[in-house]
């Protein structure tokens, strides 16, 4: 069976889904058929937090359900329900997220505008910008003017970038 491609939604509120390895001992015992699972990261409003704002979430689908989904739809990945803060397998990993972008890059590090049709994808780049709790309260307040948000984002947001090589898929 061919490997499903990396699934990417680009833009400020991007998301990424992928196959990952997680030991059977780290999965629920009733759902651990192997060490291959589906994983993903996405941003969403974190309304239940002490200081509401946007959060980066991760989700993980154990191997048994991963196999069931891939048998049904070999190119299928996580659903919109999986990429929701209320999903059983989703948990917040970072609060006060002001930007999350996912980009697919070619061998020359140039961004590939349509990852779904790319034949030369070489890297995936995740960019995350977070702001401290005190300024986050102001940044995410509904009545904060856009100009103030822009200043806070420029002055106080801390960027983090991870670029990872995409390994070629075997036929």
pTM for this predicted structure: 0.78
| Region for residue 47 given its phi and psi (left: phi exceeds 0; alpha: psi -120 to 50; beta: otherwise) | alpha
Provide the residue ranges of all domains of the chain, joining segments of one domain with +: 7-165
What pLDDT was estimated at residue 13? 60
**Which residues are paired to 13 by β-bridges?**
100
Structural contact between residues 21 and 37, judged by C-beta atoms closer than 8 angstroms: yes
Structural contact between residues 66 and 82, judged by C-beta atoms closer than 8 angstroms: no
Residue pLDDT, tens place only, 22-50: 888 888 777 777 888 888 888 888 866 66
């Amino acid at each position: 069976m061919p490997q499903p491609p990396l699934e990417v939604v680009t833009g400020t509120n991007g998301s990424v889904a992928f196959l990952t390895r997680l030991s059977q001992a780290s999965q629920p015992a009733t759902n651990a058929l192997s060490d291959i699972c589906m994983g993903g990261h996405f941003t969403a409003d974190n309304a239940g937090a002490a200081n509401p704002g946007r959060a980066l979430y991760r989700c993980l689908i154990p191997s048994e359900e991963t196999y069931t989904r891939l048998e049904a739809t070999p190119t299928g990945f996580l659903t919109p329900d999986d990429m929701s803060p209320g999903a059983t397998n989703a948990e917040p990993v970072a609060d006060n997220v002001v930007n999350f972008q996912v980009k697919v890059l070619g061998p020359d590090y140039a961004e590939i505008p349509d990852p779904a049709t790319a034949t030369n994808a070489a890297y995936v780049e995740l960019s995350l910008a977070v702001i401290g709790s005190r300024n986050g309260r102001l940044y995410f307040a509904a009545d904060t003017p856009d100009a103030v948000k822009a200043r806070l984002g420029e002055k106080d947001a801390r960027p983090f970038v991870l670029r990872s090589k995409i390994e070629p898929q075997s036929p």
